Copies of this chain bind each other. A is one copy, B any other.
Amino acid sequence: MAWNTNLRWRLPLTCLLLQVVMVVLFGVFVRYDPEADAHWKEKRRGNISSDVENDFYYRYPSFQDVHVMIFVGFGFLMTFLQRYGFSAVGFNFLLASFGIQWALLMQGWFHSFHNGYIFIGVENLINADFCVGSVCVAFGAILGKVSPVQLLIMTLFQVTLFSVNEFILLNLLQVKDAGGSMTIHTFGAYFGLTVTWILYRPNLERSKERQSSVYSSDLFAMIGTLFLWMYWPSFNSAVSNHGDAQHRAAINTYCSLAACVLTSVAMSSALQKKGKLDMVHIQNATLAGGVAVGTAAEMMLMPYGSLIVGFICGIVSTLGFVYLTPFLESRLRIQDTCGIHNLHGMPGIIGGIVGAVTAASASTEVYGQEGLVHAFDFQGSKKNWSPSMQGGFQAAGIFVSLAMALVGGAIVGIILKLPVWGQPADENCFEDAVYWEVPKDQEHTAYHPEDSTLKPVAS
């Protein structure tokens, strides 16, 4: 069984097939939300005082920030590898572009389906980007070891599972998770870790030389880091209730992220014998604070609560990079290229816990009578819920997300292990030249071109 990485037929056919299916399904199902429909004013004239009441103006700036996080943020964050920049940015671009379409459909069927149609507006666009965010997270674990065809397959399945999990959490368990600590980060991270565990490559040290950064690749990665860091307040507030909830979510995220930078820097320096800083920590651990307030940001976490969450996560995340990642790789055979367990896994679980505790300790004193009902939607079917019940369901959400991630990741990992997707040989991992025409300045002897006499590595 020789691995063939020539994707000339597989990649085009996969892309075209998926895109044709999208066109057909959109044709059958997708229509504009009333607020994006030309009938808008006619139908709503009585109820709206002004054009500015259109949800577009509440959410569009946040949407654009989230969009930048998905495409530039995640894309450039993963360019830190010395010879994998094209793939990091390009494959992320590809999978996200497919994923948002599929997510509009999947999430639409679960949440925006009326009379046989999915009605989409700006909030759907944000949620589609969110869903794809969890795929970008998982991509971080398998970065450099898979083909773009595998990524598209993974996206197809992961978006599907994400939507099911999100439906269970938001609609059945009725949890709050506006910034997605559970649905996006916990799910995405453990899904990706399970996939990479299944795809374990025992001879990966053959590409070890390329698994590090160079000076300019680290600077490119900082573009990704900073756009993620700066726009995270928009991420966590983008789909919160209008008004004070969005406002509060932005403030809490801002605070948590600021604290996280200081403790990440502190740990990075403390854990190196000459006290020097490690770019990997600055690029990643500084973001953990945003992950960990994903659930609670819109709640009355209080600014100091946010600082504490950020404080803890900067430490946990940096410790993870120094001690846990090597352990996972050597003992548990989990090869986590970007260290997503440290940036999304642990902080995601912490975020779920913080959310559960914050919800459980909500009170009318802090929220006001109306505020409490409004914040947790304690009306209709949830009329008799207490904050502690909400907290309990929040906690359950963490376990559901974990279970879905582990089971789903295992299944998808097995599918991706099939030797037909054009994955690279162990000695060609982390190398753009496998799938890209690379400018001459970067070509060199390290890349091993396809050779029919080359014996494949047992996977």
Name the B residues within 8 Å of A212 (CB-CB).
439-440
Cβ of A312 to closest chain B Cβ, rounded Å: 11
* Cross-chain contact A243 with B125 (CB below 8 angstroms): no
With contacts A8-B269, A212-B439, A243-B51 taken as known, whether A374 is within 8 angstroms of B41 at the C-beta atoms is yes
* Cross-chain contact A247 with B93 (CB below 8 angstroms): no
Within 8 A of B (CB), among A390-446: 435-442
* Cross-chain contact A54 with B8 (CB below 8 angstroms): no
A260-273 vs B, CB cutoff 8 Å, 1 = contact: the mask equals 01110111011011
Partner of A230, one of B68, B273, B368: B68
Partner of A250, one of B53, B60, B242: B60
Partner of A98, one of B250, B258, B274: B258
Partner of A219, one of B89, B275, B366, B370: B89
* Cross-chain contact A94 with B262 (CB below 8 angstroms): yes
Name the B residues within 8 Å of A40 (CB-CB).
243-244, 371
With contacts A226-B89, A275-B9 taken as known, whether A218 is within 8 angstroms of B439 at the C-beta atoms is yes
* Cross-chain contact B121 with A242 (CB below 8 angstroms): no
Determine if A202 is an interface residue (Cβ-Cβ < 8 Å): no
In Å, the complex CA distance between A304 and B266 comes to 50
A267-287 vs B, CB cutoff 8 Å, 1 = contact: the mask equals 101101111111100100010
A211-232 vs B, CB cutoff 8 Å, 1 = contact: the mask equals 0111111111011001101110
In the complex, the chain B residue whose C-beta lies closest to that of A282 is B90
From A30-38, A166-174, A175-183, A339-347, the one touching the partner chain is A30-38
* Cross-chain contact B30 with A250 (CB below 8 angstroms): no
Name the B residues within 8 Å of A55 (CB-CB).
247
From A11-19, A137-145, A184-192, A327-335, the one touching the partner chain is A11-19
With contacts A38-B374, A49-B50, A439-B214 taken as known, whether A303 is within 8 angstroms of B273 at the C-beta atoms is no
Partner of A32, one of B254, B277, B303: B303
Name the B residues within 8 Å of A389 (CB-CB).
none
In the complex, the chain B residue whose C-beta lies closest to that of A259 is B19
Identify 24 residue pairs between A and B in the complex whose beta-carbon atoms are under 8 Å apart, listed by A's number: A8-B273, A12-B270, A19-B266, A22-B259, A31-B303, A37-B371, A38-B248, A39-B368, A42-B371, A54-B242, A64-B230, A72-B230, A86-B218, A89-B219, A90-B277, A97-B259, A98-B262, A121-B247, A122-B247, A125-B250, A148-B265, A214-B439, A215-B442, A278-B436
| 8 A-B pairs with least C-beta separation | A8-B275, A38-B371, A97-B261, A15-B266, A26-B304, A51-B242, A40-B244, A27-B304
> A27-B304, A51-B242 provided; 7 other pairs, C-beta below 8 A?
A8-B269, A8-B272, A22-B307, A27-B302, A38-B245, A39-B368, A71-B230
Q: Which residues of A contact B (CB under 8 A)?
A: 6-13, 15-16, 18-20, 22-23, 26-27, 30-33, 35-43, 49-58, 60-65, 67-68, 71-72, 75-76, 79, 82, 85-86, 89-90, 93-94, 97-98, 100-101, 104, 120-122, 125, 148, 212-220, 222-223, 226-227, 229-231, 233-234, 242-248, 250-251, 254-255, 257-259, 261-263, 265-267, 269-270, 272-279, 282, 286, 300, 302-304, 307-308, 311, 366-372, 374-375, 435-442
